[in-house]
């Protein structure tokens, strides 16, 4: 099978070869002086490494290298590269299996619940190493992600397929759901019975007979047109996740914990009638372009660059800096482009903030902060390690710091955050801030069946706090339980669909006017407590992740910011 496929790929290649801020007024929300294209937020090692995608296949799957020969050099008239694998290869999707925090977290979960090691690995592998998972399933085997016999062993038959992460023949083999059913929690429903040479790959475009013939011959897959691949429900397959949890008697629950629900959050927003996940997270060409270099005459509207924009700039930086250790198959130029695009996405399309109503009266400086969520789901969303917070400073005429809330250190620890100081506690939601010990953190805090704060997914039975910023149109009073606002934010009348408003009061009676107010909305994909709990584990993967973090400090990324000067 593989020799025939290689010959046809060579034939395919031969065919292709024939072819500034005012001191008295607010600054802009996104300051051009620190634009993403000018400054990267983490250490970045730019080297000259050249990488090749690994070719591997079996009866059900093939790595992205199989698709590249016919789907490369896809460009717009202006020269923008829309070759699918070129931007995919440096994405979190491509590196879902290589992600060292994921691997250390799996080991951390197993260390704490060894009796459920099989269940943990099966569930995690479904979406992080899907080709290896479903290949094992087809053989009637279980999969291992930790230890000498795991799919990370280079001698394992599914090693290359596992490391290819969420690859082409994973997403494009997920069939449309039946009726109104929603696929979630890794239920990819991939056909494991149809023989090689007849397997379907779904795409959004109609295929000519010539294209079908070439693709079947070169790859062994038949392209089928289906609009479901452009619908938000398609992404819910892995990005709507419900998990069983350990009960008081040590058994696994039959009901589930909503670990991440971006699809349901989107469905409860105004965006459900406006934009899909793909509309925001993939860049679309503005002109009709080809999708194959073998049939360049066939041009289609709305072709997507497979860049999978998101907010995990930290992990992209870490993957680049330790590419050799992590067997990454993208070079530093790929990662630089991915990081710059992700930063721009975070800082122009995620959130804004505004300082308003500054006043000084009887030695008290007061002002309001409005934070607006521009995304089509809660912010932050998805994996609950993510958090955003307000960093507020007030300095006097001499530049002396009068007030600060939300200060952090070089490890990404928020200095006055209850949860960063004590794993058993967490910071409440605030309507009003008047002390440095009060920090507005937009986050979800998980708890066990006994009510203890936890970062263990298998121990999480619910949320003690969820004040993540709501999207437009979200009705918090009538929200379904699995996407509900939880904690003090529920009764905050200024915490509503589209954002949050809060007031700040600072004693400036002993300081000299004018005062400079500066506010940042900061974002961190791996909260300090989440990182520390994993790093405290005794397994080798935790030690490995700790080494990577030393080389790439876990600092937050500024999403939005503003400054304003106030005089008495």
Domain count, the chain: 1
Q: Domain of 395?
A: 349-566
**Bridge-partner residues for 372, per DSSP?**
352, 499
| 524 contacts 412 by C-beta, under 8 angstroms | yes
In a domain, 410, yes or no: yes
In a domain, 343, yes or no: no
CA distances from 251 to 109, 113, 292 (A): 15, 11, 51
Q: Is the dihedral of CA 321, 305, 88, 186 positive or negative?
A: positive
How big is the CA angle at 386 (ends 388 and 29), to the nearest 5 degrees? 30
**Bridge-partner residues for 283, per DSSP?**
305
The pLDDT score that the predictor gives to residue 229 is 97
> Mean pLDDT, to the nearest integer, of 332-345?
97
The pLDDT score that the predictor gives to residue 568 is 87
- Indicate whether 17 pLDDT > 90: no
CA separation for the pair 360, 362 (Å, rounded): 7
126-175 pLDDT per residue, tens: 999 999 999 999 999 999 999 989 999 999 999 999 999 999 999 999 99
| Residues of the chain above pLDDT 70, percent | 93
161-194 pLDDT per residue, tens: 999 999 999 999 999 999 889 999 999 999 999 9
Closest CA to 529 of 447, 423, 426: 423
In a domain, 502, yes or no: yes
pTM over 0.75: yes
What pLDDT band is residue 415 in, cutting at 50, 70 and 90? very high
Return all residues near 455 (Cβ < 8 A) that are at least 6 apart.
385, 423, 446, 529, 530, 533, 534
Instruction: Give rounded-to-5 percent helix, strand, coil for the chain.
Output: 30, 20, 50
19-69 pLDDT per residue, tens: 333 323 333 344 434 444 458 999 999 998 889 999 999 999 999 999 999
In a domain, 319, yes or no: no
In a domain, 261, yes or no: no
- Indicate whether 8 pLDDT > 70: no
The pLDDT score that the predictor gives to residue 38 is 56
In a domain, 501, yes or no: yes
In a domain, 390, yes or no: yes
Q: Could you identify the residue written with the tokens 């038949």?
A: 222
């Amino acid at each position: 099978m593989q020799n025939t496929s290689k010959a046809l790929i060579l034939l395919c290649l031969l065919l292709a070869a024939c072819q500034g801020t005012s001191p008295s007024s607010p600054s802009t929300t996104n300051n051009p002086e620190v634009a993403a294209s000018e400054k990267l937020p983490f250490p970045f090692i730019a080297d000259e490494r050249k990488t090749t995608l690994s070719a591997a296949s079996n009866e059900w799957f093939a790595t992205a290298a199989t698709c590249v020969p016919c789907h490369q050099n896809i460009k717009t008239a202006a020269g923008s590269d829309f070759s699918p694998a070129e931007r995919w290869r440096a994405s979190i999707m491509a590196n879902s299996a290589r992600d060292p925090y994921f691997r250390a977290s799996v080991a951390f979960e197993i260390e704490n619940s060894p009796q459920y090691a099989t269940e943990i690995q099966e569930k995690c592998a479904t979406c992080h190493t899907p080709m290896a998972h479903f290949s094992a399933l087809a053989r009637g085997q279980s999969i291992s992600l930790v230890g000498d016999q795991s799919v990370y062993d280079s001698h394992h038959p599914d090693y290359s397929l596992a490391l290819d992460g969420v690859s082409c023949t994973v997403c494009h083999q997920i069939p449309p759901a039946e009726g109104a059913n929603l696929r979630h929690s890794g239920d990819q429903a991939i056909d494991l019975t149809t023989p090689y040479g007849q397997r379907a790959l779904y795409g959004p475009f109609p295929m000519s007979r010539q294209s079908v013939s070439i693709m079947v011959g070169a790859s062994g897959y038949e392209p089928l047109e289906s609009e479901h691949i452009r619908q938000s429900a398609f992404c819910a397959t892995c990005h709507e996740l419900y998990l069983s949890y350990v009960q008081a008697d040590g058994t696994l629950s039959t009901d589930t914990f909503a670990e991440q629900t971006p699809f349901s959050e989107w469905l409860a927003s105004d965006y459900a009638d406006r934009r899909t996940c793909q509309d925001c997270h993939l860049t679309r060409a503005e002109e009709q372009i080809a999708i194959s270099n073998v049939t360049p005459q066939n041009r289609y509207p709305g072709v997507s660059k497979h860049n999978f924009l998101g907010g995990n700039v930290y992990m992209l930086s870490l993957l680049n800096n330790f590419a050799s250790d992590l067997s990454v198959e993208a070079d530093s130029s790929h990662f630089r482009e991915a990081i710059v695009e992700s930063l721009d996405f975070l800082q122009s399309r995620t959130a804004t903030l505004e300082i308003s109503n500054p006043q000084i009266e009887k030695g008290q400086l007061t002002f309001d902060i409005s934070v607006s969520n521009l995304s089509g789901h809660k912010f932050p969303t998805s994996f609950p390690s993510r958090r955003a917070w307000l960093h507020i400073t007030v300095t006097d005429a001499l530049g002396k710091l009068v007030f600060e809330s939300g200060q952090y250190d070089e490890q990404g620890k928020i200095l006055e955050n209850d949860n960063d100081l004590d794993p058993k506690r967490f910071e409440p939601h605030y309507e009003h801030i008047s002390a440095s010990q009060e920090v507005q953190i937009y986050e979800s805090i998980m708890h066990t069946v006994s009510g203890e704060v936890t970062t263990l997914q298998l121990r999480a039975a619910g949320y003690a706090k969820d004040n993540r910023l709501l999207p437009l149109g979200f009705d918090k009073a009538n929200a379904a339980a699995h996407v509900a606002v939880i904690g003090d934010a529920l009764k905050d009348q200024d915490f509503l669909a589209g954002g949050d408003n809060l007031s700040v009061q600072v004693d400036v009676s002993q300081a000299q006017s004018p005062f400079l107010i500066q506010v940042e909305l900061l974002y961190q994909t791996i909260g300090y407590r989440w990182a520390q709990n994993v790093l405290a584990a005794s397994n080798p993967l935790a030690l490995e992740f700790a080494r990577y973090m030393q080389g790439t400090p876990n600092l937050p990324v500024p999403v939005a910011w503003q400054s304003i000067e106030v005089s008495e």
